[in-house]
Every structure is written in C-alpha cells, then in structure tokens.
Chain A
Amino acid sequence: MSEEKTYVEDVNRTIYDVIDDDKDSFKLEQGLTEDIILQLSEEKKDPEWMRDFRLKCLKLYNEMTFPQWGPGIEGLDMNRIYTYVRPNAKMANSWEEVPEDIKNTFERLGIPQAERTSLAGVGAQYDSELVYHNMQKEVEEQGVIYTDFESALKGEYADLVREKFMTLLTPNDHKYNALHGAVWSGGSFVYVPKGVKVSVPLQSYFRFNAKGAGQFEHTLIIVEEGADLHFIEGCSAPKYNVANLHTGAVELFVGKNARLRYSTIESWSKNMYNLNSKRSIVEEGGRMEWVSGSFGSHISYLYPSTILKGDNSTMEYTGIAFGSTGQDLDTGMKVIHIGKNTSSVVNTKSISKNGGCNTTRTSVQVMPQAKGAKSVVSCESLMLDSESRSDTIPVMDIRTDDADVGHEATIGSISDEAVFYMMSRGMSEEDARALIVSGFADNVSRELPMEYAAEMNNLIRLEMKGTIG
C-alpha cells in the first residue's frame, strides 16, 4: 500500500530507474572543442574521412543557431554534457560474456525475456557503445548484416556505409544533426539483401547510465529490393538530476518494393532532452511503416520524416505521446510526396496530464510531379485535466491538383458518460479512466509485438495511477 502512495507523486519507475555504480572506463572532458573531437575520433579509430567529417560537423554546429520554434531548451548546458562514455566492457558475443552489473540492468528491462521469445538479435547499447551483440543463426544465414556501427565502418560494407552515412540527415539540416555528426558514437547497422524477408523483428535497446552523459548513436538501415524487415528500438534511461541529452540519428533506406517497419517505444527518464532525428527514403513500390510511442523525457523534439521518392511508394505513421508533469513533448511527423501515386496515412494521438505539454507538429508536402498522391492525416488529442496543454500544429503544402489530401484534428476529454458506464460494471473510477486511455492508445499497441504492447500498456497504467484526487 505504501508503494501505491508514491504513485501520486510520481510513477514508480524503480524497474527503470536502477542506477548502477559509475564504472566508466573512460570519460572525456565536458564541453565541445576540436581537441575533444580529435581525441574521440582517435579513440574510436575512425577512418580518415570520418575524422574530417566530424570536424566539418563541429564547425557547422558552432556556426548554426538553435531552432526558434518548439519547446525551450534553456535547461540544457552543452558544456556539461559528456559526449562520450564508454562502458566498462568490450563487445560480447554471448549473454554469458556480458558483465554482471550491466546484465542486471538489462535483466530488469526484460531483454533476455524478449530474446527468449525468439527475437532475432539483440544489439543493446549500454551508454555509448554496444556491449552485447548476438544474432540468431537463422538471420545470419540469410545474409543479413546486423552489427554495431563502429564495426560496420571497417567491415565488408564499409564503402556502402561511407556512401550513405548522413546523406539523408545532412549536417546542414539543423544544429542537432551537425552535433550528431561531430560526436556520434555507437549504434547499429543493418543490411538486408535483395529479396530477404527477415521473419522476426530485430531489436536494439538503448540505455544511458553515466551522469550527464549524452548519447549520440547512429542507426543506418538498408533494406534492398523486395526485402522485408521489422526493426524495434526501445529506449529507457535511469533518472538523474543533471540534464541529459539524446541526439541520435536514424537513416533508413527502403528499396524498390521493400518494406521496413521501424517501431520505437521511448520511456526516457524525465530529465532527458531527446532531440532525435529520423528520416527514411522510399524507392518505387516500397513501404515505410513507423510505430512510435513517446512516454518519457523532459523535452522531446521528434518528427520521423519520410521521403516518398519512388512511384507507388507508401508510408504509414502511427504514433502516441503521453506528456505528464514537467514534460514538454514536441512530436509528430513529416512526409514529402515526390513519386507518382504515392500515399501516406498518418494517425497521431496525444495524451496530456498533470501539467504536461504535448505539441503535435506535422507537415505534408506534395510536389508538383507527385500526380495521384494521397494523404490522410488524423491527429487526436486527449486532455485529462485543465492544468495541461495540447497544441496541434499541422502544415499542408500542396502543389498539384492531382492530389487527394485529407486532414482531421480533434481535441477532447474523457467523457463522464463512459466513466459512469464502466463504473456501473464494477470498475473503480481510476481503472475506468485508465482503461479508456489504453483504448485511446490502442491503435499503437495493436501495431506492436505483444511484449512491447504489454510494456506500453503497463506504462500507461503506471502513468494513470494517482490521477484521481
């Protein structure tokens, strides 16, 4: 019972907020200078081109201004962010080789269980480097490459990686991309050869540990013609009092008639600045599917974007954001229709509670050559009280007559009628409201593998506890 009481103050995050002893083997000075970048590059044994790339990005980073829109990031002091924290472990090939304290953390996050349910491989990032990497033979035999990013730079596909790296998310795009280009570290590389359908989802679990540690992992996925992949990214981080920063970058290349589903459940601790960039380019007949659940972080800027380049390419985005006390979640998506007969279907939901702020920011662009383009966007917001905030900021920019664009946005609250109905069947008010909110989020949980859907519902239930006064 006493544990129940703490829910009122804050969600019980004990399973997420486990902080292990600070055992970092190597920590750079705080702040960002050319020396630091060179030191980082040397430590990571970068190829020469990468070292030069980092320096170019650093220069851009120092020249560019912060965005003038979105939530304030005044609380983020870049000089206090450690850019690189390497865990006290080298790469491991099997679970047994993973150090005990790191293993404990993962176990609390449920990774081994997830693997037991036949997930194909685990590339779990502990702080800034992959410490554990395991892939099922089945997937390897299909010719699928799933590796940490540092190895990818030196491996069989080094040239391909060099050709694609930060070409979708260019350092000129915005200040945080430039920052990422300068200090990126760790991440995953996935290559699915032509025609290969990966039957089980690949998943990576990112996690921070050291105080003030930034995390700048890079994910590059190439799905060749006719291939099929589901990649799951799950994030959680323990709680600290020092501002933490996450500026990851995800670049996705979806080949002709290929399909990529990219699912994310983020439950960062509530002091995290999550300034993440994700972009996908889709060739002819290809399909990109995004599933996104944002629960944690103090500030989020997150808008997965899709370039529908090839004719008949399609995109579907399903997302939910849950903002509570002290959270300002600026989330949404962007899509650019270029190819003929391209289509996008977007479904976003947001839930605002206990003073939390949600902004749903979307943009749909249809270029003149995108004849026959179709886009349907639906944004729904749920306000759980009048202390919270929920803004919807969509932009549609249509440049052809031969497009069919629909947009719907609604805002509302839980109906008393529905709560009464459920209570008349014996549910407490708290349970009734929680069930209604889970129902609101059902479109996302339905798209997730069962264990992730269960985790998400668990997060919602935890968030909903203690909302009745």
Chain B
Amino acid sequence: MTAEKIKINSLVPPTWNRLKVNDITVELPTGSSAGMTDQGLKTSEAKPADWQMETGCGAELSAFLEKNGTTPVLVSNDGDKLVSIKKTYTENAADILCFEAKEGQTVNILTDVTSDESTEGTAVLQVLLKAEKGAKINLAQVVRPGKGMKVVNDIGSVAAEGAQINIVQVFMDGSDISAGCRTALEGEEASTENHIGLVRTNGQTLDMNYVAKHLAKTTKADINVTGALSKNAQKTFRGTIDFVKGCTGSDGRESENMLLLDDTIVNKTVPLILCTEETVAGSHGATIGKPAEDILFYMTSRGIPRERAVAILERASLEAAANRIEDEEAKQQVLEIIAGKYADE
C-alpha cells in the first residue's frame, strides 16, 4: 500500500513559520475504500460538479480524494428524523457524504466514528452540507477512534438566505485527529454555529482549522471551543472569521475555553479576524489555563478527590458542546457516549 503526504488545515493568511501553525502535513494511504455506505443508508450518487465546495481541510485534501477515486454520496433524509450514521472502522477508509436541506426544511444528522483497538490505519470523512433558503442543518459528530486509527474529519458547507448550519463536535480518544470546517454564509441572514468539545491526553493530538466566511449582509457566525489537555497532548485551533466586503451588519464571534492540566501539553490557539467591511462586529475571546483553584477547592471540600474533580471538569467541557445539539435524540446519544467514557475510569 502506498501513501501520499499532503498539507491540510492551512492558515490564510499565514504567519511566522517558527510557530509551526501555518498548516499540518498528514500522510494518507491511497486506495482507501468507502467505509460508510454499508450503514443501511438511503443514498444516491452525487454529481461531483454539484458538490465542489471549499472545506476546512482545504483543496489538497479534496484533490487527494478525487485522485483516490472517492466519489461523493448523497444521503437522503426523511424530514427532520435523525439520520444516524455509526461506523466502527476496521481498515483504511475514505468517504464523502453529502446532505442537502431543501427550502424551509430541517435536517438532523449524527455521525459517530470509532474503531477496534487492534485496527491500524487512517480514515478520512468529508461531509458536505447545503442548506437552501430558510433551511436548517444540525450536524452532530463524535470522533472517538481506537489508538491505532488516525482520523481526518473535514466539513464544507454553504448556507443560502436565512439558512442555518449548526455543527456540534466531540473529539476524544484515538491518536492523531485532524479536523477542518468551512462555512460559506452566502445568503443574507444566514447563520452558523460551531460547538467543539475536545479531550486530548497521552500524546494524542488534534489539529483544527475552522473558517466562517461572511459573504452576505447580516450573517452570523459563532465558533466555540471547550476542552482539556493533559499528558503530552497537543492541540492547535485555527479559527477564522472572514468579513468579506459587502457583508454589512454581520456578526462573527470566536471563543475558546481550554483547561490545561499539566506542563507536558502544547496548546496553540490562532483566532483570526479578517475584515474588509466597515459595519461589522467581530470578536474573539480566549481563556486558557489550569482549572480555577476555588472550584477545585469547593469540590474537594465536599469530599471529591482532586483527580476526580479534574475529571469532572474535563467531562463538563465535552458536555458543554454536546448540550448544544438541537435534536434531542442525537443529544442523548452523544451524552451517553461521553458518560460511557467516564464510567470506565
């Protein structure tokens, strides 16, 4: 089996090379087959020409998938009934799943990927979303592979007038995860929200690139990251709010709340705001550090051991994201997955 090295998650515009945040190189196996189509989904072939859109991971990944022969698959939906896709990877895989919400429609999606502890390989999942006028797409994703499985989780989406695209993601376990997400707010009053919960430990990494592009008037974007790092874990978050000329009255926000649990971790945050329009409101806020001593003191004073108290805070950072899932069924499933992780410990 051969592999190809490509650059993904590129920062635009780039900054000092020394900081090593301008992009990340990933090695992807060629010849991976589709892993998702056996999940009993109602699918039809999607015309690649209809689904050419920029994604968070970027053009090199899309070019790689095309060369690899991975074709986009359009997943049909049944009104606002949850489309639930669960996959336990057993080998290298590469998928492109497309979803569309027609005018006024709401589509709820949950993807949950994992792998056996024994499986070694790399899985690529690219999700492409189109929300038509006044439509709404709620995408929830859980990425929790086994130790040997690397995952590249990429999203590209387009929102028309008044459309909403809400994405909640939980990243835990595995080894190296790369995540990209780009939302083009093409219609007036289109909006997007990202809520990301992450826990990385024991040398696990997570490299993220999130972009919200404000292309029309009074569009809204809100990107939130909560998470915890410990034991040689590394995380890079790139978040870009891009106000394009003409997007008057738009509002873009990014916020990050990271718990750092020891001094072996590397936590990088790169929150860009790009602006070529006068009347917009853009903001970014970050709070990064160890858990507040008064909270830990409060919990230990009630008899909870310190380590357990820290685990509670870690879990809370995942649940903070999960609680933003709109579809009740999907929310319960994700909360259960998180509860399951902490039940083991």
| B284 A403 Cβ-Cβ under 8 A | no
The stretch from A122-130, A197-205, A213-221, A404-412 touching chain B is A404-412
| B263 A368 Cβ-Cβ under 8 A | yes
| A386 B245 Cβ-Cβ under 8 A | yes
Q: Mark A379-399, 1 if CB is under 8 A from B, else 0.
A: 001011110111111111111
Q: Mark B254-283, 1 if CB is under 8 A from A, else 0.
A: 000010111111111111111111111111
Give the residue name and chain of the B residue nearest to A383 (CB).
B278
Q: Determine if A363 is an interface residue (Cβ-Cβ < 8 Å).
A: yes
Q: A381 CA to B248 CA in the complex, in Å?
A: 16
- The 8 Å CB contact of A412, one of B22, B258, B263, B281, is B281
Give the residue name and chain of the A residue nearest to B242 (CB).
A391
Give the residue name and chain of the A residue nearest to B285 (CB).
A408
| A399 B281 Cβ-Cβ under 8 A | no
* A363 and B16 contact, Cβ closer than 8 Å, known pairs A408-B283, A409-B283, A411-B273: yes
* A401 and B272 contact, Cβ closer than 8 Å, known pairs A68-B17, A395-B15, A411-B280: no
Residues of B within 8 A of A409 (CB): 271, 273, 282-285
| B268 A397 Cβ-Cβ under 8 A | yes
Q: A363 CA to B243 CA in the complex, in Å?
A: 22
Q: A403 CA to B274 CA in the complex, in Å?
A: 28
Give the residue name and chain of the A residue nearest to B258 (CB).
A398
* A407 and B269 contact, Cβ closer than 8 Å, known pairs A386-B277, A395-B21, A412-B281: yes
Q: Determine if A39 is an interface residue (Cβ-Cβ < 8 Å).
A: no
Residues of A within 8 A of B311 (CB): none
Residues of A within 8 A of B67 (CB): none
| B19 A363 Cβ-Cβ under 8 A | yes
Q: A120 CA to B262 CA in the complex, in Å?
A: 49
| B14 A401 Cβ-Cβ under 8 A | no
| B278 A400 Cβ-Cβ under 8 A | no
Q: Determine if B6 is an interface residue (Cβ-Cβ < 8 Å).
A: no
Q: A69 CA to B22 CA in the complex, in Å?
A: 10
Residues of B within 8 A of A381 (CB): 273, 275
| A411 B285 Cβ-Cβ under 8 A | no
Nearest CB on A from B285, distance (A): 5
Q: A393 CA to B287 CA in the complex, in Å?
A: 17
Q: Determine if A447 is an interface residue (Cβ-Cβ < 8 Å).
A: no
* A69 and B286 contact, Cβ closer than 8 Å, known pairs A401-B265, A411-B275: no
| B289 A403 Cβ-Cβ under 8 A | yes
Q: A49 CA to B340 CA in the complex, in Å?
A: 68
Within A127-153, which residues are at the interface with B (CB < 8 Å)? none
| B286 A407 Cβ-Cβ under 8 A | yes
Give the residue name and chain of the A residue nearest to B18 (CB).
A363
Residues of A within 8 A of B283 (CB): 408-411
Nearest CB on A from B46, distance (A): 35
Number of A-B residue pairs, CB cutoff 8 Å, is 152
Residues of A within 8 A of B248 (CB): 386
| A406 B280 Cβ-Cβ under 8 A | no
Within A395-444, which residues are at the interface with B (CB < 8 Å)? 395-413
| A390 B288 Cβ-Cβ under 8 A | no
| A386 B276 Cβ-Cβ under 8 A | yes
The winner among A386, A390, A402 for most chain B CB atoms within 10 A is A386
Q: A157 CA to B17 CA in the complex, in Å?
A: 37
Residues of A within 8 A of B284 (CB): 392, 394, 407-410
| A411 B282 Cβ-Cβ under 8 A | yes
Residues of A within 8 A of B303 (CB): none
Q: Determine if A361 is an interface residue (Cβ-Cβ < 8 Å).
A: yes
Q: Determine if B290 is an interface residue (Cβ-Cβ < 8 Å).
A: yes
| A402 B19 Cβ-Cβ under 8 A | no
Q: A315 CA to B278 CA in the complex, in Å?
A: 32
Residues of B within 8 A of A392 (CB): 271-274, 284
Nearest CB on A from B66, distance (A): 27
Q: A396 CA to B271 CA in the complex, in Å?
A: 9
- The 8 Å CB contact of B263, one of A397, A402, A411, is A402
Q: A67 CA to B271 CA in the complex, in Å?
A: 21
Q: Determine if B40 is an interface residue (Cβ-Cβ < 8 Å).
A: no
* A398 and B260 contact, Cβ closer than 8 Å, known pairs A391-B13, A393-B270, A406-B287: yes
* A395 and B269 contact, Cβ closer than 8 Å, known pairs A69-B13, A410-B283, A411-B275: yes
Nearest CB on A from B3, distance (A): 26
| B266 A410 Cβ-Cβ under 8 A | no
| B13 A398 Cβ-Cβ under 8 A | no
| B15 A401 Cβ-Cβ under 8 A | no
* A400 and B263 contact, Cβ closer than 8 Å, known pairs A389-B276, A411-B283: yes
Residues of B within 8 A of A405 (CB): 286-289
Give the residue name and chain of the B residue nearest to A359 (CB).
B13
Nearest CB on A from B130, distance (A): 29
Residues of A within 8 A of B268 (CB): 395-398
Residues of B within 8 A of A388 (CB): 276, 278
| B266 A399 Cβ-Cβ under 8 A | yes
| B271 A394 Cβ-Cβ under 8 A | yes
Q: A399 CA to B22 CA in the complex, in Å?
A: 18
| A393 B272 Cβ-Cβ under 8 A | yes
Nearest CB on A from B235, distance (A): 10
Nearest CB on A from B200, distance (A): 13
Q: A386 CA to B267 CA in the complex, in Å?
A: 35
Residues of A within 8 A of B273 (CB): 381, 391-392, 409, 411
* A395 and B270 contact, Cβ closer than 8 Å, known pairs A69-B13, A413-B278: yes
Q: A407 CA to B255 CA in the complex, in Å?
A: 10
Residues of B within 8 A of A413 (CB): 278-280
Give the residue name and chain of the B residue nearest to A367 (CB).
B263
Residues of B within 8 A of A411 (CB): 243, 273, 275, 280-283
Residues of B within 8 A of A399 (CB): 263, 265-267
- The 8 Å CB contact of B269, one of A369, A384, A396, A404, is A396
Q: A320 CA to B258 CA in the complex, in Å?
A: 29
Nearest CB on A from B12, distance (A): 10
| A410 B282 Cβ-Cβ under 8 A | yes
| B271 A386 Cβ-Cβ under 8 A | no
| A383 B277 Cβ-Cβ under 8 A | yes
| A383 B275 Cβ-Cβ under 8 A | yes
Within A90-108, which residues are at the interface with B (CB < 8 Å)? none
Give the residue name and chain of the A residue nearest to B260 (CB).
A401
Nearest CB on A from B310, distance (A): 10
Residues of A within 8 A of B22 (CB): 69
Nearest CB on A from B173, distance (A): 21
Nearest CB on B from A393, distance (A): 5
Residues of B within 8 A of A398 (CB): 258, 260, 265-269, 288
Residues of A within 8 A of B281 (CB): 410-412
18 further A-B contacts with Cβ under 8 Å, apart from A371-B263, A391-B272, A394-B284, are A69-B15, A69-B17, A334-B16, A383-B278, A392-B271, A392-B284, A394-B269, A394-B270, A395-B268, A396-B269, A397-B19, A398-B267, A398-B288, A401-B263, A405-B289, A408-B286, A409-B283, A411-B273
Q: Which residues of A contact B (CB under 8 A)?
A: 67-69, 334, 359, 361, 363, 365, 368-369, 371, 381, 383-386, 388-413
17 contacts between A and B (CB under 8 A): A69-B15, A371-B263, A389-B275, A395-B268, A396-B270, A396-B288, A401-B262, A401-B265, A402-B263, A402-B290, A403-B260, A405-B286, A408-B283, A408-B286, A409-B273, A410-B281, A411-B281
Identify the 7 closest CB pairs spanning chains A and B, nearest first. A411-B282, A400-B263, A401-B260, A407-B286, A409-B284, A405-B288, A368-B263
